[in-house]
Chain A
Amino acid sequence: MLCLGFAFLYIPIFLLIFYSFNYSKVVPVWGGFSLRWYVELFQSEEIWKSVVLSLEIAIMNATFATLLGALAGITMARIKQFRGRTLFSGMISAPLVMPEVITGLSLLLLFITMAEVIGWPTRGITTITIAHITFSLAYVAVIVQSRLVGVDESLEEAAQDLGAKPFRVLIDITIPLLAPALVAGWLLAFTLSLDDLVIASFVSGPGANTLPMLIYSRVKLGLKPDVNALATIIILIVSIGVCIAGWILSRQERQRVLDMQMAESGKFDQNEDEPVRA
């Protein structure tokens, strides 16, 4: 069963990579090995424009969503009691379960109304970014909150006890401890934004085509192999990224475990943990 699942997951990807090197213009017909579509891809201004737009949106979204989501997450994890806490936590997690179509549609309505009333924003990169931030920050908030729940609160108390004002504690202690969660949140927000087709389609304006929107519209006009080439490049970048991240993480973890074992067994050096006999 598992093999079947993996087969359905990975065979299409391999097929896609395989056909990206196909000379033939008709996708399922093998016309010999060629880099033709890669060349064409690099010459297509339309595709590059959408790639740049998608990346711009993804980076802005990830950054703002991480900032706001972290604040929300810290509030949720560290402030035990305030008026409307339940409402706040519900509202934070609502975007996680809200169907995208509804989020997209309602945001579109909002943007249209705003444009009429105050003349801002024009639909395009701004509206897509705002829309993406609204739902990505929920994911970041959840990641940050769950990480912070696992962090010993006495670390922050200790900093306060040593004379650090609450803001300093946030900068010196809480945020460094949250770093892994913030990086994870940023990457997730980045991916969510890069991935999103539905909401972007709703709130985008003329001329602002993100990469998923472009690919989707092209596929509707019939499969063209340069999309395969593009997909192959994306897969390559993602795989390299995942491998590097995994390698760094496992190396850090191994080093940490080793350090701890050595500290406990006292093999770090000769002069170890022999308590003073005063």
Chain B
Amino acid sequence: MNTQTDNNNLFADQPWLDPERSPFVKIQSLTKTFGSFTAVSSVDLDIYEGELFSLLGGSGCGKSTLLRMLAGFETPTSGNIFIDDTDMSNVPPYQRPVNMMFQSYALFPHMSVEQNIAYGLKQDGIAKNDIAERVENMLTIVQLTQFAKRKPHQLSGGQRQRVALARALVKKPKVLLLDEPLGALDKRLREQTQFELMNIQEQLGITFIVVTHDQEEAMTLSTRIAVMDQGRFSQIGTPTDIYEYPETRFVANFIGSANMFEGRVVENGADYVTVKTVGSDLSFYIDHSAAVRENTAVWVALRPEKILVSATPPEEQSQYNSVEGVVDDIGYLGNFSIYKIRLANDKIIEITHPNQSRPKHGSHLAQWEEKVYLRWADHSPVLLTK
């Protein structure tokens, strides 16, 4: 009994690691084709209760199609969807225990805010008093009480977004699907709304599945992210996993930016790998092992913020994880600057460096065409085989 409790505590924030938990939404080899185009290609996915799960990908990667299949607006070509252990194959959209928040918000223009939110409850034949009470509650949660009688066109973008959220949440769905929930808001409002959305999700404990093309949004919001590309999942993991341990070149490039080096494995030790890059002297020493044979072609990804720059040569020379170059370009972004460093073989490496002091006080590391020395820790590079 005791171990059981321990287990629960251990996995409270990471239900996907708990072997005893069964997934709340289960997707099994789901495929959707439109004519000869395959939008979603045999994907499997488990989502656990209370998760805020993001489907992240560029346009046309199949993330919206997947969401629409969950809502029931598209019929899968093959495969199954289970929600709370119920097969959804023959369940029409209006009977599914899910609600969706549409990208366009899809507020009914001829109904007031109140009527919009009440619409779903009316369909369930709930008593008038209860409807009024639940709508009132919901309006309080999204802070729109004084706008109850407004029509959608009398609201600002941010308010409309909250009405759409309230309308989808008021039915207490088992799963809430959100299609680009913050896409139509401006940047400042989007950042504030992200945290609001997370608070509401925690408050109500409903499982959220969010579709987004905005990696920052996915990183901030999610418990886990599935990165999608050409109808498949490239990687599924926590934001940290995905950013720090990308499994494919696509993920490394799509999430944040990465300097990518093509090379060959020189040595594969018990707890390290060394890689010599193609066309330059640069060699990597990576402090984690990988299942690669020597001399296989691999890629090494290196995040711009993990590279240390100095204008003076390092004291001890190392054959690994260091290189010298010339500043090709500097981009000043306020909180940090982007440096483009040209290596001897004309390859450009991108580096970000925080501007801790003002330029006049010598924070600029280096000027254009100045020679700089780059190095990084053994745990910084990521070895990629795909």
User: Which A135-191 residues have C-beta < 8 A from chain B?
Assistant: 152, 154-155, 157-166, 168, 172-173, 176-177
Cβ contacts under 8 Å, A277 to chain B: 192
Supposing A161-B100, A164-B94, A177-B109 touch, asked if A263 and B159 sit within 8 A by C-beta, the answer is yes
Measured in the bound complex, the distance between the Cα atoms of B224 and A102 in whole Å is 68
Q: Which residue of B lies closest to A169 (CB)?
A: B94
Q: Give complex CA distance A164, B100 in Å.
A: 14
A88 to chain B, nearest CB (A): 22
Asked if A159 meets B146 with Cβ closer than 8 Å, knowing A177-B109, A259-B153, the reply is: no
Q: List CB contacts (< 8 Å) of B136-189 with chain A.
A: 143, 146, 151, 153-159, 167-168, 171, 189
A275 at the interface (CB under 8 A from B): yes
Contacts A163-B120, A276-B143 aside, 5 further interface pairs with beta carbons under 8 A come to A160-B93, A163-B94, A263-B159, A264-B156, A272-B156
Assess whether B311 is interfacial by the CB under 8 Å rule: no
Q: Which residues of A contact B123 (CB under 8 A)?
A: 162-164, 168
In the complex, chain A residues whose CB is within 8 Å of the CB of B96: 161
Q: How far is B95's CA from A259's CA once the two chains are assembled, in angstroms?
A: 36
Which of the 9-residue segments B39-47, B193-201, B211-219, B278-286 touches chain A? Answer: B193-201
Taking a contact as CB atoms under 8 Å apart, the answer to whether A260 and B153 are in contact is yes
A205 to chain B, nearest CB (A): 44
CA distance A269 to B155 in the complex (A): 12
Q: List 24 A-B contacts (CB under 8 A).
A: A154-B104, A157-B100, A157-B102, A158-B100, A159-B108, A160-B94, A161-B71, A161-B73, A161-B96, A161-B98, A161-B99, A162-B94, A162-B99, A162-B120, A163-B94, A163-B95, A163-B124, A164-B94, A164-B123, A259-B154, A263-B154, A264-B156, A275-B193, A278-B196
Asked if A271 lies at the interface with its beta carbon under 8 angstroms from chain B, I say yes
Give the CA-CA distance A262 to B144 in the complex, in Å: 17
**What does DSSP make chain A's interface, helix, strand, loop or mixed?**
helix
User: How distant is B32 from chain A, measured CB to nearest CB, in Å?
Assistant: 16
Chain A positions 56-101 with a Cβ under 8 Å from a chain B Cβ:
none
Q: Which residues of A contact B154 (CB under 8 A)?
A: 259-260, 262-263, 268
- Would A158 and B106 be within 8 Å (CB), given that A260-B153, A263-B154, A263-B156 are in contact? yes
Give the Cβ gap from B229 to chain A, nearest Cβ, in Å.
25
Select B192's contact among A152, A259, A262, A275, beta carbons within 8 Å.
A275
